[in-house]
Amino acid sequence: MTKVVGKPLKRKEDPKLITGNGQFTDDIKLTGMLYMAVKRSQHAHARIKRISVDAALKLPGVVAVYTGKDVQDKIKPIRSIWLVPGCDLIAKDRVPLAVDKVNYTGEAVAVVIAESRYLASDALDLIDVVYEELPAVVHQEAAIEGSAPVIYNDVPGNVAFTWKAGEVPEEVFANAEVVVKQRFYEQRVAANPMETRGAVAQYNPGSGELTLWCTSQNPHIHRLQYSEALGISETKLRIIAPDVGGGFGAKIAVYTEEALAAFAAMDLKQPVKWIEDRQEHFLATSHARDQVITTELAGTKDGKILAIRTRNVASLGAYLSTMGAGVPTIDFGLMVTGAYTIPYAQAETIGVYTNTTPTDAYRGAGKPEASYQIERIVSLFAEKIGMDPVEVRRKNLVQKGSFPYTNPMGCNYDSGDYQKVLEQALEAAGYAGLRKEQEEARKNGRLLGIGISTYVELCGLGPSAVAGAIGFGGGLYENCTVRVHPSGKVTVLTGASPHGQGEGTTFAQVVAEKFGIPIEDVELFHGDTHMISMGWGTYGSRTTPVAGGALAIAADRVIEKAIKIAAHELEVSPEELKFEDGAFMVKGDPDKKRTFKEIAWSANNAWNLPAGVEPALEGQCFFDPPDFVYPFGAHICVVEVDPDTGVVDLKKYVSVDDVGRILNPLIVEGQVHGGLAQGIGQALWEQTVYSEKGQLLSGTFMDYAMPKAKFFPMIESSFVESPSPVNPLGAKGVGETGTTAAPSAVVNAVMDALKPYGVVDLEMPLTPEKVWKAIQKGRAVK
Amino acid sequence: MTKKWNVEVKVNGRVKRAEVEPRLLLVHLLRDEFNLTGTHIGCDTSQCGACTVMMDGKAVKSCTVLAVQADGAEIQTVEGLGTVDQLHPIQAGFWEKHGLQCGFCTPGIMMAVNGLLQDNLNPSEAEIRDALDGVICRCTGYQFIVKAVQQAAETIRNSQQQSQVVPAEGGSV
Amino acid sequence: MRIEYSYTFDLPKDTVWRYIQDDRVLRSSLPGCQTFEEMPSGIYAAELGLNTGPVKGLFSAEVQQVDQIPPTYYRLLVKGKGKPGEIDAVADMILEEAEEAEGGTKITCVAEIEVTGVLASVGQRVMVGVAKVILGQFFKAAEKEMQNEI
Ligand code: FES
Ligand code: FES
């Protein structure tokens, strides 16, 4: 059999991208196309007194201007699809355009449709909006104070929900030998894919069909939401996600601008394009994290962890975004115990509305936050009892023989050998040597720090029954169709919607190996709701475990059928055949055979099929995984802090991850690097900042510190493969490992470096200023 | 109505003309007028480098150049770098070393790398990382971009050496 | 954000005090000032064409001078609105005899400024610098005006 699974093959999707032949949303140009620009609120919280659009309408080239009043009866609010149950959730849906009141800086108040993008943006300046400013509340802890301004009259105290899971008996903490408590702030960040959002809408007034190309990670979810908001049947609404320039969660959410472009295209009967610029992106595309997490750990003096209790005050922003409620509750709360055998756990999350851009998923969504607090508190615990942080982890990690391990919240960690992964990471980093080096360095006043993170994350979303139980407004199965053409070439269709993750290659590897055909013969097609059966998209590291599961089964169904046809042609029973290297051979008589190509031809011609076998050769599977998958890893970070400037120098970063079976090591390593850059970015540089009045202060790449190439050393990554038992490929998902592991590894390292100054915790990002100040404070105390 | 200007630029070896508003950016001229959509736009403050093209032999961010400033210039975009059948060593390097994921930043980054390799065919890792300071990639974490650049530099060096030994064959670079 | 800016006039304190709040002086020395009129409420309505960094375009502003303690202190309230956003500034203006220049007057402006829109998201990083440039232009022009007046 041609072995291609597990090989570091070059990607099939690259030739078009490296020659400039990708087709991203902004690359689409249609005859008669108009351009939309969005007038946005300058205030975080204000009543709209008046909007004058006359001057804008008079500008030559302006075709239409719509305000909230114009569209409020035509476009319904966009509902959040994750209505977490049992927490008295009050969902505030995004309205297409604000009508009476704006609730965050950047909220859309009007749109202009004009003949060119320049004209549309000129016209924005001619729209005059008169506001009456209201006091704004930006930070969630302030928002739940009694004295805080209330954003919605029917949401007292700005509290959208209070969610609880698990329980720790009071005596566990009362009687514990050691209790460690710490408040952590997972700062607000922005996903910032390099391609901003955008949409092109085309309406056919004759057929009533609306085609909407948009930057989506999950076109079927967009269809579900927009068909409801716009009142168009799913049969008439075609969502196409063309090439998408990264998403990282920001393109899961269903926003209003795309619906407005669609509405305008229908209203004006001309195609309409809207492309978000970067400043708009910072204002209007969902932000993430922004959770104040207080964690308590109860343990013994010899390093056993007994209980974890968390309280998370999460900022939802001004509206409940698509998955806004699920991220700080289910995604966070179920994983607060991390990779450790901890008998008791309790998690409480308070979701709070604030006058800020709504928050939603960002690479990892809830798991990075869960991992951060547990990995930090475990290191603080080690510190407190005077034990090496590695030792504490060794003592508490889930043991090899105990999989599936059910954590106190009921999650079943699927498989692994956590100790082996940890030891491999220690070995790769030269841990013992590093500690010696650190000792030497400290003697010379150098601040060397070693940080470790042994994270686990829940991904591969997920069983649909669980989705229903946790209030997710949809299924989480995935589909694949494997379509064999008469020539033996294969098209794979999937409801997942990759946008850089490389499934065009990895899925082709799986099919090529299964069918014994060249990888060149297999093409993946995705991102078009008219062509693809119901699916749920790409996020939550679900594409390989779930869509890949559907792929493997669908391909097996093809083989099953092909065997019947081959047996019929060879006049043997199917049991007498074996399928190897692309040929159906009679066992014991390998010369009697049919190739995969031959069967593709005869199946599609259907001249001579066995009784009961339908023509053509196609397999489809809707795979609903029995459970989630749980990648695990051990990351070690070494930093040196300059005591004079507070600059953190990343000296070394070692990652060892168990992401289950690896289909293409090159692609998997690329995923790890990308995730790490974002995770390290959160730890050290990135932050979305608001002024007290709710003005966004980090609204450009000049102000929001995106990681650059020169910030990083060469990452040393390696892998351990424990196949997951919950899907046919044994894959666990890799996309979110970096963002889940890195923040705590880096912060643990910096805190370790600052130990001589008695620094216990600093809020991310660990900017030179913050670190320098901590050193000064430490010096003063000394 | 603002007065329109005639511009003439040589793009990827072909002379192209357009009548443009004086405020039109080069990147919009390339994308919207000439349909060369391989050059992308990732920001509006000239930080990301997704729009990088070669202008008169130098890598420039085409979102910071007015179309009228490019009048008479020679422009090379990603479409002029190489074709699928005849990839430029930089393109080949990015493909070989997995230097791209979503591919949105890639054309601009490759053009920026083109600028680097013109000046320095033997860049160290640090020099490569420094040269990438004007571009942002959110997907790759840059490591494989660095490897791609190293590989491209090596290919170009080798082909230059060869072409020195056997001048008849000539480097295609 | 908070800014502090000082400028030393080569003029005695009384003169500076007399003219620094004078509408004629203000009209001709406010950068890009196109109109400057006193409204019945005692508030001045001004239109300023500014062009410094992100602070670009026509701003309509309301200017108010209050809490005067002659000849050493007054408070300046400015509310401005332009395409790139809104500005809300409260400035304490302190006049004192200049130490370094005999017979001169040092004016110190300590202002708390709030901005919205693009001014906030893009401009805030450079806003302190921009504000100082604008103040510098203003004081310089005002000094010239005062010298003409005397
Ligand atoms: S688009 Fe030109 S630098 Fe970002
Ligand atoms: S490959 Fe996606 S931004 Fe660089």
Over the stretch A45-79, which tens digit does the pLDDT of each residue have? 999 999 999 999 999 999 999 999 999 999 999 99
Burial of residue A128, with CB atoms counted within 10 A of its CB: 0-12 exposed, 13-18 middle, 19 or more buried: middle
Tell me the H-state helices in A212-275: 219-230, 257-268
> Residue B84 is nearest to which of A19, A60, A672, comparing CB atoms?
A19
Looking at residue A702, its amino acid is M
Is the same domain home to B70 and B128?
no
**Mean per-residue pLDDT of chain A:** 97
Range of the domain at B93: 89-164
Q: Is 0.90 surpassed by the pTM of this model?
A: yes
A510-558 confidence digits (pLDDT tens): 999 999 999 999 999 999 999 999 999 999 999 999 999 999 999 999 9
Strand order in the sheet with A447-456: A447-456, A632-641, A648-658, A715-719
**Mean per-residue pLDDT of chain B:** 94
Phi–psi pair at B100, nearest 5 degrees: -145, 150
* Gap from A124 CA to chain C (nearest CA, Å): 9
Asked whether the beta carbons of residue A279 and residue C118 sit closer than 8 angstroms, the reply is: yes
Is the same domain home to B122 and B93?
yes
pLDDT score at B170: 43
Is the same domain home to A243 and A308?
no
Q: Is residue B151 part of a domain?
A: yes
> Residue C121 is nearest to which of A43, A283, A693, comparing CB atoms?
A283
Q: Which atom of ligand 1 is nearest to the CA of B62?
A: 2
Q: Which atom of ligand 2 is nearest to the CA of A245?
A: 2
- The domain that contains A769 carries what CATH number? 3.30.365.10
Q: Which atom of ligand 2 is nearest to the CA of B109?
A: 4
A382-423 confidence digits (pLDDT tens): 999 999 999 999 999 999 999 999 999 999 999 999 999 999
- The reply to whether ligand 2 has any atom less than 6 angstroms from the CB of B144 is no
- The domain that contains B133 carries what CATH number? 1.10.150.120
- Other C-beta atoms closer than 10 Å to the C-beta of C99 total 9
Range of the domain at A543: 464-623
pLDDT score at A2: 66
Is the same domain home to A474 and A548?
yes
Look at the block and give the residue holding tokens 């007292």: A156
> Residue A696 is nearest to which of C83, C120, C125, comparing CB atoms?
C120
Residue B166 has pLDDT above 70, yes or no: no
Q: Is residue A524 part of a domain?
A: yes
* Gap from A25 CA to chain B (nearest CA, Å): 10
Mean pLDDT of A24-37: 98
Q: Name chain B's partners: 3 or more CB pairs within 8 A.
A: A
Residue B172 has pLDDT above 50, yes or no: no
Distance CA A260, CA A255 (A): 9
pLDDT-derived band at C21 (thresholds 50, 70, 90) equals confident
CB A54 within 8 A of CB A38: no
pLDDT score at C119: 83
- Domain final position from B80, B115, B139: B80
Burial of residue B24, with CB atoms counted within 10 A of its CB: 0-12 exposed, 13-18 middle, 19 or more buried: buried
Distance CA A312, CA A320 (A): 17
pLDDT-derived band at B165 (thresholds 50, 70, 90) equals low
Residues in A touching C115 (Cβ below 8 Å)? 695
- State how many domains chain A has: 3
Residues in A touching B137 (Cβ below 8 Å)? 194, 709
pLDDT score at A683: 98
Is the same domain home to B124 and B69?
no
* Fold of the domain spanning C2-149: Alpha-D-Glucose-1,6-Bisphosphate; Chain A, domain 4 (3.30.530)
Residues in C touching A691 (Cβ below 8 Å)? 114, 120, 124
- The reply to whether ligand 2 has any atom less than 6 angstroms from the CB of B110 is no
Look at the block and give the residue holding tokens 């309230």: C77
Distances (CA, A) of A511 to A503, A559, A560, B101, B158: 11, 11, 14, 21, 37
A83-92, A738-747, B151-160, C128-137 — which is least confidently predicted? C128-137
Q: Which of B31, B63, B106, B138 to mutate to test the pocket of ligand 1 (most atoms within 8 A of CB)?
A: B63
A362-378 confidence digits (pLDDT tens): 999 999 999 999 999 99
CB-defined contacts A:B, below 8 A: 189
Alpha-carbon torsion, ordered B77, B82, B85, B86, to 10 deg: 170
CB A493 within 8 A of CB A531: yes
Is the same domain home to A582 and A557?
yes
Classify residue A61 by its DSSP letter. T
CB A193 within 8 A of CB A278: no
pLDDT score at B1: 56
Residues in C touching A696 (Cβ below 8 Å)? 120-121
> Residue B47 is nearest to which of A16, A195, A702, comparing CB atoms?
A702
Is the same domain home to A698 and A597?
no
Q: Is residue A10 part of a domain?
A: no
Q: Is residue A352 part of a domain?
A: yes
pLDDT score at B162: 82
Angle at A149 between CA A83 and CA A329, to 5 degrees: 25
Tokens of C85: 């956003």
Is the same domain home to A636 and A613?
no
Tell me the H-state helices in A247-360: 257-268, 278-284, 332-333
What is the Å distance from ligand 2's center to A194 Cα?
Answer: 7
- The domain that contains B27 carries what CATH number? 3.10.20.30
Is the same domain home to A583 and A668?
no
Residues in A touching B142 (Cβ below 8 Å)? 673, 677, 708-709, 712
Is the same domain home to B76 and B98?
no
Q: Name chain A's partners: 3 or more CB pairs within 8 A.
A: B, C
A606-647 confidence digits (pLDDT tens): 999 999 999 999 999 999 999 999 999 999 999 999 999 999
pLDDT score at B169: 45
Is the same domain home to B58 and B106?
no
Asked whether the beta carbons of residue A118 and residue B132 sit closer than 8 angstroms, the reply is: no
- The reply to whether ligand 1 has any atom less than 6 angstroms from the CB of B41 is yes
Tell me which ligand sits closest to the C-alpha of residue B104: 2
Distances (CA, A) of A208 to A96, A204, A260, A263, B43: 22, 5, 17, 12, 36
Asked whether the beta carbons of residue A192 and residue B138 sit closer than 8 angstroms, the reply is: yes
* Gap from A38 CA to chain C (nearest CA, Å): 13
